[in-house]
A = this chain, B = another copy of it.
Amino acid sequence: MTQPKTLVETLHGRKTDRTPIWLMRQAGRYLPEYRALRAQAKNFLDFCFTPDLAVEATLQPIRRYDLDAAILFSDILVVPWGLGQKVWFEEGVGPLLEPIAGTDELKRFEPQRMVEALAPVYETLRRLKTALPADRTLIGFAGAPWTLASYMIEGGSSRDFAKAKLWAYGRPESFQKLTDLLVDAVATHLEAQVAAGAEVLQIFDSWAGALDSAAMRRWSLEPIQAIVRRLNQTAPQVPVIVFPRGVVTGYRDFAEAGIGAAISLDQHVDPAWARDAVQSKCAVQGNLDPRWLVVGGEGMRAAIQRILDVLGQGPLVFNLGHGCVPETPPEHVTELIATVRSYR
């Protein structure tokens, strides 16, 4: 019989003796051991698809820090890649994709082959399940349909999402087809992760905040709701954390619709508002500004305490409002964890 794990217990809404903590992008360039490991693969997708390397990257922050969970080292763009879109990463530029301009291009996709194409990801999870200390939780993840669609249409990162929004706003029936395809692909990818050992899932809708409030509901909330409903049927034991980043008061809409065991909040959300509007309905995760981890010291400790003072009594997973940035001094992460652990 395994011990109940703090993160899983908190996500199930049960009282725990401490606040669980993990950090988005806790494995990454701010760690010297990560940079050394990364140098062993010639490109980023190869790195993600080599279980030896991806397992090691996942475990690095766990070896260094007292974190409650390890999150699979992978990328949200493995889904479009697995569907058959050309995806590559250029150093200093970020992800690049051969962009799609309409539903015609979807015909070339081979969704039925995605799980086979992503076999190395699931192999990574299976190995992690064995390698991870028994008291740590293994988190799987995927990008949400809107965020994936925006990369697939823009052909990479975007400042204004001009093409993706023109399609979503101007040709909603057509955009619905792309969304439906992605709802199925994302759910399938997450189910395969659960089969391979993921105990908790997180859905990242990193660019949900680019949509206006009505479009957010249709293209972020509804597709994520469809995915979570399916997962609640196929993997009822696995709590899902939902992160529709930047949706303003939309976080409340997700909570009220009962989507996910926890809502992850960006750093711009006022904790007091979130306590009343979100945490009254489900667990919350967040929401320290990752820039505090660069600053460290008294300022960072005070910012951590502000969050714990307001959200620490309800179900809370301590985390950042967005991923760790490369400039983070690793010792500030130690300091952050100690501050959360010693909070009374």
Q: Which residues of A contact B (CB under 8 A)?
A: 159-162, 165-166, 169-170, 172, 209, 211-216, 246-250, 253, 267-271, 273, 287-289, 291-292, 294-295, 297, 299, 303, 306, 321, 325, 327
Specify the chain B residue showing the minimal Cβ separation from A294.
B166
Specify the chain B residue showing the minimal Cβ separation from A157.
B159
Task: Label chain A's interface by main secondary structure.
Answer: helix
Give the distance to chain B from A170, nearest Cβ to Cβ, in Å.
4
Taken together as a complex, chains A and B put the C-alpha atoms of A299 and B165 apart, in Å, by 12
Determine whether the beta carbon of A267 is less than 8 Å from that of B160.
Answer: no
In the complex, the count of this chain's copies comes to: 2
6 closest pairs, A vs B, by CB? A212-B289, A213-B270, A170-B295, A212-B267, A165-B291, A249-B273
Determine whether the beta carbon of B166 is less than 8 Å from that of A291.
Answer: yes
Interface centre among A213, A247, A249, A288 (most CB of B within 10 A): A213
Taken together as a complex, chains A and B put the C-alpha atoms of A165 and B299 apart, in Å, by 12
Interface centre among A214, A247, A327 (most CB of B within 10 A): A214
Determine whether the beta carbon of B162 is less than 8 Å from that of A325.
Answer: yes
Determine whether the beta carbon of A169 is less than 8 Å from that of B268.
Answer: no
User: Within the complex, which residue of B213, B268, B294 is in contact with A212, where a contact is CB–CB below 8 Å?
Assistant: B268
Give the distance to chain B from A282, nearest Cβ to Cβ, in Å.
18
> With A248-B249, A248-B270, A271-B213 given, is the CB distance from A295 to B172 under 8 Å?
no
Determine whether the beta carbon of A209 is less than 8 Å from that of B268.
Answer: yes
User: Within the complex, which residue of B165, B215, B249, B268 is in contact with A216, where a contact is CB–CB below 8 Å?
Assistant: B268
Beyond A214-B303, A215-B289, 19 additional contacts (C-beta under 8 Å) are A159-B159, A160-B291, A162-B291, A162-B325, A166-B294, A169-B303, A170-B297, A172-B299, A211-B268, A212-B267, A212-B268, A212-B289, A212-B303, A213-B269, A213-B270, A248-B248, A248-B268, A248-B269, A249-B273
Give the distance to chain B from A80, nearest Cβ to Cβ, in Å.
23
Determine whether the beta carbon of B246 is less than 8 Å from that of A268.
Answer: yes
Taken together as a complex, chains A and B put the C-alpha atoms of A327 and B211 apart, in Å, by 18
Give the distance to chain B from A217, nearest Cβ to Cβ, in Å.
9
Determine whether the beta carbon of B169 is less than 8 Å from that of A299.
Answer: yes
Give the distance to chain B from A286, nearest Cβ to Cβ, in Å.
10
Taken together as a complex, chains A and B put the C-alpha atoms of A259 and B148 apart, in Å, by 39
